[in-house]
Structure 1
Amino acid sequence: MPKITEASLHNAALAHLARYAATEAGLRRVLANRIRRWAREAEAEGQDVEAIAAEVAAGNARAAAIAARLVQAGAVDDAVFAKARARRLMGGGRSARATLAHLAAKGVAGETAREAIGQEDVPDELTSAVILCRKRRMGPFATVEPDPVLRQKWLASLARAGFGGEVARRALRLPREEAEEILAARP
């Protein structure tokens, strides 16, 4: 089995970036997975375990260097990734809290994630809650008049989605016309 070369890792990184948006941490994770897969195959072929371990360590160092070079070249930009992902998630009805958690899982720094959520073309928390209400046909978009039990279920649904109590209650109390105006005015 061939060794893990810098060229093969660089090509793997470029192939991944050609298909997916990624953060620096995400790209390092993809390359580390490729290295682990190579190590499993090398071990299955009966290669020396110590040599494999040394190659894995060297491969991980190469992967980190490749990811850093791609960041310097501008091919990987955590801020651009965070802004686009925040716009998509909050525009799809995700709360700011859930969006921050998603970005953290992708390896975006906390400050960068908070800046992305605060951008003017990213929907605010109330707009995101109204979008979720429309998707789930609750609150102003409900087809039935809610009883107290159903209203509690709607509040619980919004709370599980990460919206605070005040935002959730406000979104559920909106008249349909006002909710549609909020959706029409969204960025």
Structure 2
Amino acid sequence: MKPPSVASSGPETPKPPPRPVSAAWLERAALDYLQRYSASTEMLRRTLSRRVEKRARARGEEPAAFVEMIEATVARALSAGLVDDARFAEGRLAALRRRGTSRRGAGFKLAAKGVPREVVAAVMEAEREASPEEDSEEKAAWAYAKRRRLGPFRQPDRRADYRERDLGSLARQGFPYGLARRIIEADEEPA
């Protein structure tokens, strides 16, 4: 049987400050982040900035002193091909469209992730060329309606009561009114 633990009455030893920010530490942090997540250049920059800020504040240093080191790490990740905004935007756009995000909503979400406007435009144009705009927008609207159980995916006896709410939901997601109305008034999803 173990003896009862005795609480020490003395002061706790202070935790030592974290190691200083270095180029090697930043590179390891970037690689660790990029192994777990697909990221845009700006997302990597923001993540590294947050980590540097946390570590610098714990050491009592000014985070602004490490901006150049962060930029150098991001530049190395770009030159090594670990970060590619176009590749990130293509993958993210495809995932958003499968989930039922409108073209407009997808553009806003990509911009929020720090993807440059011209890259977003190029990726959207490539998607538009790959499939007609109405076709991809309609597929996304159907996916959203199915995921949220709107229109034809509601219980038949409640559809009329929720018609306006369902139209509003599709409109808030950025889908055109005509498309939203076609989906909400449809009897079933097209094959």
**Structure with higher helix content:** 1
CA RMSD of aligned residues (A): 1.9
Matching of residues 17-166 of structure 1 within 5 Å: 17-43=34-60, 52-53=61-62, 56-118=63-125, 119=127, 120=130, 124-145=136-157, 146-147=159-160, 149-166=161-178
- Matched residue SS, 2:47: helix
Distance in structure 2 (CA, Å) of the matches to 1:137 and 1:128:
14
Name the amino acid aligned to 1:171.
I
- Quote the offset at 1:26 in angstroms: 0.6
Q: TM-score, normalised by structure 1?
A: 0.82
CA contact (8 A) 1:35 1:59 kept: yes
For residues 129-161 of structure 1, the C-alpha deviation after alignment (integer angstroms, 9 at most, x for no partner) is 1111112222233321532x4211110111122
Distance in structure 1 (CA, Å) of the matches to 2:49 and 2:84:
19
Percent identity between the two aligned chains: 35
Q: TM-score, normalised by structure 2?
A: 0.80
CA contact (8 A) 2:41 2:84 kept: yes
Number of equivalences: 168
For residues 30-87 of structure 1, the C-alpha deviation after alignment (integer angstroms, 9 at most, x for no partner) is 11001110122112xxxxxxxx22xx33322111111112112111001111111111
Name the amino acid aligned to 2:137.
E
For structure 2, the 5+ residue unaligned runs are 1-16
For residues 145-184 of structure 1, the C-alpha deviation after alignment (integer angstroms, 9 at most, x for no partner) is 532x4211110111122212122112223341xx332xxx
CA contact (8 A) 2:20 2:56 kept: no
Larger Cα Rg: Structure 1 or Structure 2?
A: 2
Q: Could you tell me which residue of structure 2 aligns to residue 12 of structure 1?
A: 29
